[in-house]
Chains A and B, each alone.
Chain A
Amino acid sequence: MLRRALERFNVSDLSLYVVGAPIIALIVVGSFATLRAGHYTTRQWFDFIIFGLAQGSIYALIALGYTLVYGILRMINFAHSEVFMSGAYAGFFVASALSRSKFLDSNPVVGLLVIFAVAILTSVGVAVLLERIAYRPLRRAPRLVPLITAIGASFFLQYTVRGLFGSQFKTYPTVAILGGTWTLGANFVIQRIQVLVIVAAALLMFGLYSFVQRTKTGKAMRAVSEDKDVAALMGIDVDAIIVRTFVLGAALAGAAGVLYSLMFRQAQFFMGFIPGIKAFTAAVLGGIGNVPGAMLGGVFLGLFESVGPTLFLDGLKVPAPYQLKDVIAFTMLVLVLVFRPTGILGERLARAKA
């Protein structure tokens, strides 16, 4: 037992543990100090968690798109953040039209469904074109080539939208039924929009998971992910399955775009960049290529960003801790990867690819 441990030991592991241990110590000390000081009420902790869950659900929805494509093509689709942005933009045009005609106030549910449908269709359209024009011709190229293409496609889409609609922020209309709060007892008040975001994201993720696990297409996707050539020999149309994977990821990104814009009320050509980077981080955190991992990674990342600065740093008397929220998110990523190099749920994939 000891001998095996010694054999596996190496210098890079040690250096990473040396980085990891003090960070954990700092987190524990900081959290303890914050909780002991008791500046925050139960209500406020509950709020922090809900804010984190809502933000995390959106990260998770986008992260699924990265992870699905990575699972099948072993490439990181950096243009995915623009698929998200185009959904939000299409949603904006429908939402502002419906809002001006007062339809959104008289039939809010139908109106919202129309907004989601158009956004999802636009995102899917963009993703399918992307796959057909930018990625498929490079299917047999070295792995770096589609990666660079993805970055190029990302810029192309961003600046196309900027050229067409300008660099100004578009303000989403407010939807009356999504304003206001629900009270679940004295300490638990929750914004309706956050309920919508969390519930919608959970339903979509459950739907996707069932699709991948239960349907024939899902089975074919898993087969292609394990080995494209063998899957083709078994009579699976690999190209068709890849397109369907892009469609699934894009549909979730389109829905995430609308949810994000309903929550923050803005759309802009550059809006996909930061959520895209965060979602990619979430996918890596959960174990890239793994569907439940992306969901878990997204929710964790959202929670770290929302709860982390207060919980870890307030007790240490760090001034203005929210400026460090990205540092906390990436520190968590490093910590997880130090101890689990393949991400939280990435074990199975790593063994399969080793």
Chain B
Amino acid sequence: MRKHTFSLLGLMVMASLILTACGGAATTAPPPPPTEAPAATAAPAATAAPAATEAPAAFKCTDAIGCVDVAPGDPIHIAWIETVSGATAPLGTDNNRGVEIAIADKGGELLGHKIELTGEDSLCNAEGGQAAGTKISADPTVVAIVGTTCSSEARAAMPLISKAGMVMISPSNTNPDLTNPDHPDHWPGYLRTAHNDLFQGRVAAEFAYNKLGLKTAATIHDGSPYAKSLQQVFADVFKQLGGTITTQEAVNVGDTDMKPVLTKIATGKPQIIYFPIFEPEGDFIAAQKCEVSGLEKTVMMGADGLTIDTFPEAAGECANGMYLSGPFVAGKPYDDFVAKYKAAYGEAPVSGFHAHAYDATNIIFAAIEKVAVVDADGTVHIGRQALRDAMYATKGFEGLTGKLTCDKNGDCATGEALAIFQLTDAEIKDGKWPPNVFWKPGQP
């Protein structure tokens, strides 16, 4: 038996790899029937909120999923779940800075209580989202959460947050399934200020087909829900417009040698390769494209996962002329925000979703101010279902990213804050960031 130790070990590794590869499919399987959540959704919002306003002197919580009581002197607790370590750390760090500036703009206080901010690192994967979600949802003082950074984390954290009766609003999750009410793993209490990838993928496909005039495309994803759905939306829209998708390939997170997969793509002779993935895999694809024969004239395009200031240098000369779609915010209020950002952190924004994070935090504050019941002694009571309802009901909210209106599924993005950038020598050699806007949706 001993001689088979290694072969059995190998079998186990193989089986686990197959399971991981099929993980995408597994996550869409119906979850165990949520036991507490339906009660929450079924609760008519109308009864919860008025009950709260006509509260007698001694407050009695009538909210369907409970209340948070903040005694005088205690802080109002807001939590974050973001990726603050590893290759995707700039995204999460940038989000958190948006949150911190929003709190500073409030003077660090809400309804006479200090705002307490704590958080957990979620590592840009499902396991990290699970761990962070478990920890945060176990703390009953948490009122609302800003997070997550990556869509895969939200998938794992959302059920935990939802069951705990809390509400989470993400500045940078773009996966369409997260706000799709028909998805079998859909949970109440989740919103986002980031654009839905149904929008980003459509913009990318329209840009490639209409603006650049390209007729054939190949896509690459990395198995994450974000990349998988984004490239699928791109492929669907590109085909609808009349283009041809030569192949849809995938790589693993952690792969470094992309030349074989690029060689396979080269057999279809696509005019554009769309790879909406993250660093460092995106760096390797962008750098190694030039080493593969048959792709000399192929254009490359990435999405907001690669719109990070470290990408141009890592990808190198080969990425010259590459397109990136990503968040783009402009205007006077935004310039003021960036000035505060620079003053506080000594550098320009390191990624694209700080303004979305700022808006998300302010939506939470506005909703708390709307639903909170303040006793004579200063105690604040916040109904959890009422808070959720108030956030879903956000309408015409003046944010940095435009006028935000949330729909009943939790999508609050305006659709104005997106643009296509092009990388040039200035970004690759001289470290200029952000790159110039090449095109905006709606332009000819």
Interface residues, chain A, with chain B CB atoms under 8 Å away: 12, 16, 19, 39-40, 43-44, 47-48, 51-52, 55, 167-169, 171, 174, 189, 191, 264-266, 268, 274, 281, 284, 305-307, 309-310, 314, 319-327, 330-331, 333-334, 337-338, 341-343, 350
Contact = CB atoms under 8 A, between A and B. Distances in A.
Contacts of B257: 51, 55, 264, 305-306
A174 B319 CA distance: 14
Interface stretch (B9-17, B70-78, B107-115, B358-366): B9-17
- Chain B CB within 10 A, most for which of A169, A191, A281, A309: A169
The secondary-structure label for the interface of chain A is: helix
B252 A51 contact: no
B263 A44 contact: yes
A323 B251 contact: yes
Interface in B244-297: 248-252, 254-257, 259-261, 263-264, 266-267, 279-280, 283-284, 287, 291-294
Contacts of A338: 7
A167 B260 contact: no
Interface in B217-264: 221, 223, 248-252, 254-257, 259-261, 263-264
Contacts of A342: 3
Contact of A48 (B86, B221, B263, B291): B263
Interface in B277-321: 279-280, 283-284, 287, 291-294, 310, 313-314, 316-317
B249 A320 contact: yes
B10 A334 contact: yes
B3 to A, nearest CB: 4
Given A51-B259, A189-B293, A310-B260, 11 more contacts: A12-B4, A43-B293, A44-B293, A47-B263, A51-B257, A274-B254, A305-B257, A306-B259, A322-B260, A327-B14, A350-B3
Given A43-B293, A266-B280, A327 B261 contact: no
A322 B263 contact: no
B267 A323 contact: no
Contacts of B287: 264-265
Interface residues of B, number: 48
B430 to A, nearest CB: 14
A265 B316 contact: yes
Given A306-B260, A331-B14, A169 B7 contact: no
B6 interface: yes
B310 A52 contact: no
A271 B215 CA distance: 38
Nearest to B268: A39
18 contacts: A16-B4, A16-B7, A19-B11, A40-B267, A44-B263, A47-B259, A48-B260, A48-B263, A167-B86, A169-B280, A264-B284, A274-B256, A284-B10, A309-B260, A320-B221, A322-B249, A322-B260, A334-B14
A27 B267 CA distance: 22
Nearest to A320: B250
Contact of A167 (B6, B14, B85): B85
B39 interface: no
A323 B223 contact: yes
Nearest to B261: A322
B264 A322 contact: yes
A320 B260 contact: no
Interface string B305-343: 000001001101100000000000000000000000000
B104 interface: no
Contacts of B18: 324, 327
A52 B259 CA distance: 10
Interface string B35-75: 00000000000000000000000000000000000000000
A39 B280 CA distance: 30
B263 A323 contact: no
Contact of B21 (A19, A191, A307, A324): A324
A199 to B, nearest CB: 18
